[in-house]
């Protein structure tokens, strides 16, 4: 029996970029000790008091179907949080609770794209973006942000693709680069969206992980409230990745239709998870800062280690839990470097090419290990890069993919 093209073609011809991750998992399953710096998973579990709130709610009977757009009180809490951060009046009817940010990204695209519509996004990108767009029957169009521009999106390149498109998806603070979009970048994006009549889908799941500068939600820019869908999540801000809870914030009419979509897809989010999220949000910014702090600390440790060498360059990483490293000086592509590092050092990092073409000379390091172990692994990455750069300058550069088969 044939399956739909929509589902069989979801990840496109280039694959989904998870090859290295899967290889690392295979090695671990075979008993090898791999240092895992691939995915954005905290090295701590959800806080015991959040779990206790979840249990209290479930034991009190909040185990049946919950309200599909989300409980009133959680929607109020999410609205108040965003209003406090952006200054934009936001009420319960602007909020749909979703099973995580990923479900929010899917629903947001379903809300603004018809089949065959062009949906823009920025390369480098979070690995699921093109597949999410294909999943709603739209056509993903990547617009490259250049390393030389510090991976800030290029207004001219975006403008050239905007006519006739339905939406633009951005992500700041950014995964994989760690870059925070500047006010100038966001104002340029807002102008393009208004000129070409695009919806802006703004993925802000890292909005609590800011190391330098300020996070500006484009929903707060003039004229953008009516055409922006903000996607948020408790995954990164509250170490609740497995609880699957997030939201979409947007104009009331869009949220009304998105609620209808949720009724026909997820039928909402478990009530005890929503109550736990509400409990966690009520703890305020202090808890968020506490959960974010280890990544900020490790970033400083890594920057200090980087300062002592000149082979690996770091992309200015102002936010999120990742560091994007330029490994071009080793003579290897990001992918070959990552596979060689896994084979020889048993350290798993993501090749930049998992996130598109714009970062193919890079690897992304997730700062998701306890400080001492993280720094030790990071220094080993730098030593490995130095050795590879040395081989290159002595004419012994690895041929493409050579290191991958030596694993």
Ligand X SMILES: Cc1ncc(COP(=O)(O)O)c(C=O)c1O
Footprint on this chain of ligand X (rule: CB under 6 A)? 40, 100-102, 126, 171, 175, 203, 205, 233, 235, 241, 246
193 φψ region: left (φ > 0), alpha (ψ -120 to 50), beta (else): alpha
Shortest separation between residue 131's beta carbon and ligand X, angstroms = 12
Shortest separation between residue 246's beta carbon and ligand X, angstroms = 4
When the beta carbons of 82 and 385 are compared against ligand X, the nearer one is 82
Place of tokens 């300020």: 214
When the beta carbons of 94 and 171 are compared against ligand X, the nearer one is 171
Closest CA relative to residue 332, chosen from 284, 263, 386: 386
- The CA distance from 180 to 175, in Å, is 10
HSE-CB of 319 using CA atoms within 13 angstroms: 23
Shortest separation between residue 203's beta carbon and ligand X, angstroms = 5
Closest CA relative to residue 50, chosen from 287, 248, 209, 251: 287
Contact 134, 125 (CB under 8 A): no
- The CA distance from 366 to 208, in Å, is 16
b/e sequence 165-193, b meaning 16+ C-beta within 10 Å: bbbbbbbbbbbbbbbbbbeebbbbbbebb
Shortest separation between residue 177's beta carbon and ligand X, angstroms = 11
Shortest separation between residue 379's beta carbon and ligand X, angstroms = 26
Shortest separation between residue 350's beta carbon and ligand X, angstroms = 11
- The CA distance from 234 to 217, in Å, is 17
Contact 335, 351 (CB under 8 A): yes
When the beta carbons of 100 and 334 are compared against ligand X, the nearer one is 100
Shortest separation between residue 80's beta carbon and ligand X, angstroms = 20
When the beta carbons of 90 and 241 are compared against ligand X, the nearer one is 241
When the beta carbons of 99 and 271 are compared against ligand X, the nearer one is 99
Shortest separation between residue 227's beta carbon and ligand X, angstroms = 20
When the beta carbons of 332 and 356 are compared against ligand X, the nearer one is 356
- The CA distance from 248 to 231, in Å, is 5
When the beta carbons of 205 and 338 are compared against ligand X, the nearer one is 205
Q: Other CB atoms closer than 10 Å to residue 208's CB: what's the count?
A: 20
Shortest separation between residue 205's beta carbon and ligand X, angstroms = 5
- The CA distance from 102 to 40, in Å, is 13
When the beta carbons of 98 and 259 are compared against ligand X, the nearer one is 98
- The CA distance from 153 to 146, in Å, is 7
Shortest separation between residue 405's beta carbon and ligand X, angstroms = 30
When the beta carbons of 66 and 320 are compared against ligand X, the nearer one is 320
Q: DSSP letters along 248-314, please?
A: EE--HHHHHHHHHHHHTTT----HHHHHHHHHHHHTHHHHHHHHHHHHHHHHHHHHHHHHT-SS-EE
When the beta carbons of 209 and 330 are compared against ligand X, the nearer one is 209
Shortest separation between residue 182's beta carbon and ligand X, angstroms = 18
When the beta carbons of 356 and 385 are compared against ligand X, the nearer one is 356
**Could you tell me the CA-to-CA distances from 16 to 41, 79, 136, 326, 353 in Å, in that order?**
19, 34, 17, 21, 10
The encoded tokens of residue 189 equal: 């994006």
Cβ neighbors of 307 (< 8 A, separation 6 or more) are none
């Amino acid at each position: 029996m044939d399956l739909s093209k929509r589902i069989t073609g979801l990840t496109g011809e280039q694959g989904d970029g998870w090859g290295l991750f899967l290889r690392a998992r295979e090695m671990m399953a075979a008993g090898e000790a791999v240092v895992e710096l691939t995915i954005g998973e905290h090295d701590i579990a959800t806080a015991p008091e959040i779990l206790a709130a979840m249990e209290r709610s479930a034991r009190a009977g909040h185990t049946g179907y919950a309200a599909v757009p989300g409980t009133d009180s959680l929607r109020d809490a999410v609205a108040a949080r965003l209003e406090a951060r952006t200054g934009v009046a936001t009420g319960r009817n602007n909020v749909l609770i979703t099973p995580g940010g990923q479900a929010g990204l899917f629903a947001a695209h379903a809300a603004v794209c018809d089949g065959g519509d062009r949906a823009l996004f920025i390369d480098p990108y979070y690995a699921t973006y093109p597949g999410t767009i294909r999943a709603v029957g739209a056509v993903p169009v990547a617009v490259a942000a250049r390393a030389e521009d510090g991976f800030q999106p290029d207004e001219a390149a975006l403008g050239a693709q905007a006519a006739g498109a339905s939406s633009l998806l951005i992500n700041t603070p950014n995964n994989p680069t760690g870059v925070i979009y500047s006010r100038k970048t966001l104002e340029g994006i807002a102008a393009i969206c208004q000129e070409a009549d695009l919806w802006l889908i703004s993925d802000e799941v890292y909005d609590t992980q800011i190391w330098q500068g300020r996070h500006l939600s484009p929903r707060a820019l003039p004229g953008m409230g009516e055409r922006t869908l903000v996607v948020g999540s408790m995954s990164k801000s509250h170490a609740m990745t497995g609880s699957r809870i997030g939201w979409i914030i947007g104009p009331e009419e869009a949220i009304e239709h998105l609620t209808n979509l949720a009724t026909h897809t997820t039928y909402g989010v478990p009530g005890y998870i929503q109550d736990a999220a509400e409990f966690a949000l009520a703890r305020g910014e202090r808890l968020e800062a506490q959960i974010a702090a280890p990544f900020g600390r490790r970033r400083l440790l890594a920057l200090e280690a980087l300062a002592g060498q000149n082979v690996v360059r770091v992309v200015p990483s102002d936010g999120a839990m990742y560091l994007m490293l330029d490994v071009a000086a080793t003579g290897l592509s990001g992918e070959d470097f990552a596979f060689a590092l896994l084979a020889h050092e048993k350290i798993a990092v993501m090749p930049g090419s998992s996130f598109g073409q714009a970062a193919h000379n890079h690897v992304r390091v997730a700062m998701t290990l306890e400080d001492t172990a993280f720094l030790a692994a990071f220094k080993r990455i730098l030593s490995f890069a130095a050795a590879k750069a040395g081989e290159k300058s002595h004419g012994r550069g690895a041929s493409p993919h050579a290191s991958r088969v030596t694993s």
